[in-house]
Structure 1
Amino acid sequence: MNSVIIKPKNEILKKYIQYFLFFKKTDDEFLEYTTFPNTNLCLAIYKQNKVSYIYGSGTNFCDITIGNTFSSRLYGFHKMPFHVNIHTSLDQVCIVFNSSALRAFTGASYDDLMQSEHVFDDIFPTDKNILEEIFEITDFYKRAEKLEDFLCENLRDNIPGKIDEALILINTQKTLNIDDLSGTLKISEATLFRLFKNQLGQNPKSYLKTLRFRNVLNDLLKPGNSLTAVAYQNQYYDQAHFIKDFKVLAGFSPKKISDKISVSQKDLTWICNKNQD
């Protein structure tokens, strides 16, 4: 399977879109891959595939088979590894949004969007031909340009200032404490909870836990970093607690994952395996 990551060129759009991810698979050989919890949100669009997505109660699983029309799903805010099984050829476009950035394009309910099999149409209902136009373009870089133009035309930028302020505090000051965050923002914890749920689709505690995991994962993949050093760098002062938390989110212990994981273009961190059905 060919996978290509392309980052937006438009300076305004960079605030909202982390990157575009293109998957192309031309054979029917079975392929499976696993990705890990992240704070971003992925809008995945499929040309001719049927997608079965099961999420909740310890399951985060996607099964992709042959279809006959466009479909699209929203994935993200995973509290557990995301497993994907592909049984057929695939032509897939992913728009990977930065935290809270989906709100710059739609005010639709996260719960409704997560249940929909046609999320793209729910978010962008006015242009019925845009997906055909995008998938007719075979060059991924030209596809990305088409997507950029379309997203810029549909940008609403109605993200509340408080959520931007919260994310800046978290990213620049490494604020990982709910009390400190709500105090600095001068809002109650209940208001902070509603703000995160409405704008990011997850509560602040879950967001911070996922962000901490991604920092740990990135540090583990750096050459020469010991488990002890990574634990302390990320404010884990109990090795057993560190290993337990990591294994819940990754499905593997910190020691084992470095032998299995691959990194594509410094952005896509995954485990990809070919097997027979």
Structure 2
Amino acid sequence: MNSIIVKPKNEILKKYIQYFLFFKKTDQEPLNYTTFPNTNLCLAIYKQNQVFYTNEGGTNLCKISNGSTYVSRLYGFHKLPFHVNIHGALDQICIVFQPSALRAFTNEAYENLMLSDTVFDEIFSFEKSFLDQIFDLNDFAKRAEELEILLCENLKDNLPYKIKEALVLINTNEFLSIDDLSKNLKISEATLFRLFKNNLGQNPKSYLKTIRFRKALDDILKPRNSLTGIAYQNQYYDQSHFIKDFKNLTGFSPNKIVEKISVTEKDFAWICQNLQNE
């Protein structure tokens, strides 16, 4: 499977879009990959696939097979590793939003969007032939350029000031507690909870926990970092707490994940393997 990440060129758009991710698979061989919880939200557009997504109990699984229509779904707010099983060909575009950035394009409730198979159509205004035209482009960079034009045309930026302020505080100190964050923003914890749920789609505790995990994952993938040091640097209670939390979010121990990771990019790490070789 061919995959490529393209960063947006438009300076304004960079505040909202982390990157575009393109997958292309022309054979019919089964394949799976696994990614891990992150703070971003991914809008995935499939050209001719059927998509079945289950996220309940201990299952966080997306099954993709051959189809005949466009499907678009949102993925994010994961509390478990995200497993994707592909059975057939695949031509997929992912728009990966910065935290809370989806609110710059739509006010539709997250609960509704996360259940939809036509999210792209519901959020953006575009010509009926747009998806045909963009998937006809074999150059992924050109696909990204066309997506940037569409996104800029639909940009509203109606985020509340307080959520912007909250994200600036977290970027400055990702180890802020809920109490510290609410005090800095001069709002109650209940208001903070509503602010995050309405604009980021997840509560502040889950958001901060995911940020800490992603920082720890980046540290683990760097050579010569000890687990004790990583746990301390990322303010886990102790090494056992760090290992338990890490296994819940990835399915692997910190030491094992280094062997398993197949592909790494900034903010993107995944395990990919042929299903027949499992």
TM-score bracket for the superposition, by shorter chain length: over 0.9
Q: Give the superposed CA RMSD.
A: 1.2
Mapped to 2, the partners of 1:142 and 1:50 lie a distance apart of 26
1:198-209 → structure 2 map (5 Å cutoff): 198-209=198-209
CA separation in 1, counterparts of 2:174 and 2:69? 44
Matching residue of 1:90: 90
SS of 1:137's partner is: coil
Deviations along 1:128-153, one digit per CA (max 9) or x if unpaired, are 22211211111100000000011001
1:191-270 matched pairs, under 5 angstroms: 191-270=191-270
Aligned residue in 2 for 1:102: 102
Structure 2 gap ranges (5+): none
* 1:70 correspondence with 2:73: no
Structure 1 stretch displaced more, 118-127 or 3-12: 118-127
Q: Secondary structure at the match of 2:272?
A: strand
- Opposite residue 260 of structure 1, the aligned amino acid is K
- Distance in 1 between residues matched to 2:9 and 2:179, nearest whole Å: 37
SS at match of 2:259: coil
The unaligned stretches of length 5 or more in structure 1 are: none
Give the distance between the partners of 1:175 and 1:232, measured in 2 at CA: 12
TM-score (norm 2): 0.97
**Whole-Å separation in 2 of the counterparts to 1:267 and 1:242:** 20
Distance in 1 separating the partners of 2:136 and 2:153: 20
Superposed displacement of residue 161, structure 1? 1.1
> Does the 8 A contact of 1:38 with 1:77 survive in 2?
yes
Superposed displacement of residue 175, structure 1: 3.8
**Aligned residue in 1 for 2:139:** 139
How far apart, in 2, do the equivalents of 1:265 and 1:200 lie? Answer: 23
Give runs of aligned pairs for residues 28-39 of structure 1, distance below 5 A. 28-39=28-39
Identity of aligned residues (%): 71
Instruction: Report how many aligned residue pairs link the two structures.
Output: 277
2:5 aligned partner: 5
In the TM superposition, residue 126 of structure 1 has moved relative to its aligned partner by: 4.8
Counterpart contact for 1:175–1:181, Cα < 8 Å = no
1:148 maps onto 2:157 in alignment: no
AA of the residue aligned to 1:25: K
Amino acid at match of 2:181: L
Q: Aligned equivalents of 1:125 and 1:152: distance in 2?
A: 11
**CA apart distance, 1:266:** 3.5
Q: Distance in 2 between matches of 1:32 and 1:148?
A: 29
